[in-house]
Structure 1
C-alpha cells in the first residue's frame, strides 16, 4: 500500500532547477528560453565549450526558417538580433532533370505574394542564430548554462530526475529533456528505441558567392542521385545542400576546392553566373530516424533526438522548433494550473500533439526522396506531370505555400508570434 505521506514528501523535494535540457545546439536554448519566459527554471548541459559556441567564423552552414519559425523567434525576443542578417525567401522553384542538361519542361514555382502573411521564410547563417541564442540564454536569470559538460548517467526517481556529468557534478530537476541529436544518449539511457534506415546518400553542404543576384529565390533541382538545393543568403551568396550517393559524395568532398567547384558547376548551371566557395565544406550522411516514443517517465525528446528526416524539404530545424513550441506550451500551461510538469500524462499531451505531424512529414520526405532520387523514365514522367498539374492549380499551389511557411495545422502560440 502506498504511503499517504509520499506525495507531500515529493512536493518538497529540492531540485537544482525545474527542467534540465541536454543539448546546447539550437533547439535546446530555444526551449530553455520559452520555458524560462513561462516562469520555469532551466539548466542546459552543453557538450561543446563556450568558445566553440561563440566562434563567429562563417562555416558555410545556414538554415531555412519557415515563417512560423520566424514568428517563434520573434516571440522569444531573438528575431530583432538577427533580422538584419536574414534573407527573405520570396520564391521557391522546383524542377527535375540531369546534371548539365537543364531542367525538365514541367516545374513548380511558389511565390510569397500568393499568401497574405509575408515571405514564406528566411535564410539565416548558423553563426548569427547560434550567437543570438547564446546571448539570450546568458542574459536570462532563470537559465543556467553548463558548457563543456557531458551527461554520463541519468536516474529517474519518483519526484524527479538526476543527471550525472562527466566532471562528477550532478544536476537534479523535475523533468529531463533530450535535445541531443539523432544519436541521443538521453533516449538510449531511457531505453527508447528508434525506427529508421540509411538512404545511401550524403549531403554536401557549403556556401557560394555568385555573379548574379538570386532575387530571393530558393531552387530545388531533383537529380537521379539526390536533390540539389540552392538557398538564397544576403548579398550575392547562396547556401548549397547537395545530395549524392555516399561513395560519390566522399570522392567529391576529398577534392580540392577547384575540383569541387568543377563537379558542382554542371549540376548548378550558369543562371547565377560565375561561382566560388564562401566558407568551409561539410558532409552529412542522410537517414530517417524516428524515436518510437517521444516521452517517458519524467523525460521528453525534442528535435533530432525525436526525429531525423531527409532534408529534401528543408524542414529539420522547423520541425524541432515546432516541438519546442508545443512542449513549452504544454509544460507552462500545466505549471500554471498547478499540475506536476513531469507527470507522464502531462508529457503525453506533447507526444500526442507532435507525433502525427512528425510521422506525416517523415513519410512525405521519405516518399519524395524515393520518387525523385532515381532515373526511372516512368517515374520521371509521372513526377514531372504532377509538378506541372500542381503549378497550374492556384488553390493547391497556395496550400503548398502555406505548408512550406509552417502555417497549417494546430499551431502552438509561439508559432503564431504570441507569448506563452
Structure 2
C-alpha cells in the first residue's frame, strides 16, 4: 500500500466506486480473502440513504451460498422469505381464469430453496456491517469526478478536490455509470418502451412462499413473496401507461393492481412509495481497461423478466474477487490488463447470453399476437411435462454450475 503522508491523500490497493450490493459484496469478498489488501469504497450517495430503500430482491441459491461464506447470511436469513414454489401463466387482464402453464418446485436440494426474497435494506445492512468489521474504509457523499491514469496506479479524484491513489479502480456505480464513461468504454444499448413499476403490497391471506409470474400483453407481472402477508411486485407496462399509473391516486392504482393481481389473497393495500424505472438492455463493450474494471449494472443492465439482474452482479463480484486474490497470491500486478482479462473472459459470455435470453423472452411474451401466444403456451406446456428440463431450468435460475466462481459454490477463494 502507498504510505499516508501529510501532503497527500492516502493510497489504497483497491477503490470500489459504488456502495450498492455488488460494490459491497466485492469489497467484502476481497477483504475476507486477502486481509492485507487495502480496500476503500467511495459512494456518491450521502451516508444512510440506503436505509430508505423500500425495494426487495430475489437472491438465488448460489448468491446465498456466497453470502453465507462471507459471513453475512446469518443476519439476513431471519428476514428472508424462501420461494417455495413458482407458477407461470399467460393471459390477458380481461381473462376470467388464468391457466397455469408451468410450475416449479422451489427446492434445488432438500431444505435449500432455489431463491429467497430479501428486502434491500436488510441485505445492505448485513454487507455494510461485515465491511466495517473487516476494516473497509467508506467515503460517502463524494461522487468521483475524475480519473488520471498513471503507470503503476490510478488517481481517483472526488469531492472538494480530494484524491486517492490506487492500484485498481472497480466501477460498480450502476447502469448509467459515470466512471464507465470516464474510462471511455462504449455500450450496446436499446430501450424497450417499457417501464417497471416496483412496489410492496400487503394482503389478507398468506402467500405460502409462492411466487407468480403472469405474462400479460404489456409485459410480465411478477408477484414475489415477502415475510408476513406481504409481496413485492415488479409490474411491467408501456412507459406512458406506467407514468400514468404512478401519478394516479391510490384508488385508481389499487384498482388497476387488482385487475392484474386478483383477489385470491384477499384485500390488497399498497405499502410505501411506488416507483417506476425505464427498461432496456445495456451491455458494456469492454469490462476492463488497465487498472479499471466494471461490475454489476455498470457492466450490464438487463430486463427483469428472469429476475437475474442482481444475481449477475453477484457473479461479477465473486469472479472479480477470485481473479484479484489469485493474482495477488502469485505476486502479480492486480491492476494489469493481463490479470483483468481473465475476469472479462470469465464473465462476458455469460452476461451476453443472459442479456440475449431476457431480450428474446421479453419480445416473445410482451405481445398479444395469437399465433405467438399459441407457440409460447405450447412451449411452456412442453417444459411442464419434462421433469429433467424443469430441473435444469431451476438450477440455472439458482445460479448453480460447476464453472461458477468458488464463492458461489460456497467455497473459499
Counterpart of 2:24 (choices 25, 29, 46) is 29
Structure 1 stretches lacking a partner, 5+ long:
1-10
Contact 1:60 1:281 in 2 (8 A): no
Partner of 1:239: 232
Q: Hey, what's the Cα distance between the residues in 2 that align with 1:366 and 1:252?
A: 24
**Per-residue CA distance 1:98-153 (angstroms, 9 max, x = gap):** 11315554511000346457201100001111122222222222x11001001000
Q: Which moved more, 1:251-260 or 1:322-331?
A: 251-260
Cα distance in 2 for partners of 1:367, 1:175 equals: 36
Structure-to-structure mapping, 1:190-205, within 5 angstroms: 190-205=183-198
What is the alpha-carbon distance in structure 1 between the residues aligned to residue 221 and residue 402 of structure 2?
A: 28
Equivalent residues, number: 406
- TM-score when normalising by structure 1: 0.94
Please give the alpha-carbon distance, in whole angstroms, between the structure 1 residues aligned to 2:396 and 2:89: 19
Q: Which residue of 2 aligns with 1:46?
A: 43
Distance 1:229 1:103 in 2: 17
Query: For 1:28 and 1:113, how far apart are their aligned partners in 2?
Result: 29
- 8 Å contact 2:204–2:268 — kept in the other structure? yes
- Match of 1:146, SS? strand
Which residue of structure 1 lines up, in the alignment, with residue 277 of structure 2? Answer: 284
2:116 paired with 1:122: yes
Unmatched tracts of structure 2, length 5 or more: 5-9
| CA shift in 2, pair 1:106/1:216, >3 Å | closer
With over 3 angstroms needed to count, the CA separation of the structure-2 counterparts of 1:276 and 1:94, relative to structure 1, is: same
* CA offsets 1:245-269 (integer angstroms, 9 cap, x no match): 0000000000112211111111111
Normalised to the residue count of structure 2, the TM-score between the two structures is: 0.95
* Corresponding position: 1:158 with 2:155: no
Q: CA RMSD in A?
A: 1.6
Give yes or no for contact 2:88–2:215 (8 Å, CA) kept in 1. Answer: yes
C-alpha contact (below 8 Å) 2:3/2:11 kept by paired residues: no
Alignment of 1:198-237 (within 5 A): 198-237=191-230
List aligned pairs for 1:3-402, cutoff 5 A.
16-39=11-34, 40-53=37-50, 55=51, 57=52, 59-102=53-96, 104-105=98-99, 107-113=101-107, 115-116=109-110, 118-141=112-135, 143-402=136-395
CA contact (8 A) 2:42 2:143 kept: yes
**Aligned-partner Cα distance in 1 for 2:111–2:310:** 21
The 10-residue stretch of structure 1 (132-141 or 300-309) with the greater mean CA deviation from structure 2: 132-141
User: Structure 2 vs 1, CA of residues 117 and 333 (structure 1 numbering), >3 Å: closer, same or farther?
Assistant: farther
Residue 8 of structure 1 corresponds to none
State the 1:166 CA deviation: 2.2
Provide the rounded CA distance (Å) in 2 between the counterparts of 1:23 and 1:383: 39
Runs of 4+ in 1 over 6 A off after TM superposition: 11-15
Q: Structure 2 CA distance, aligned partners of 1:332 and 1:303? A: 19
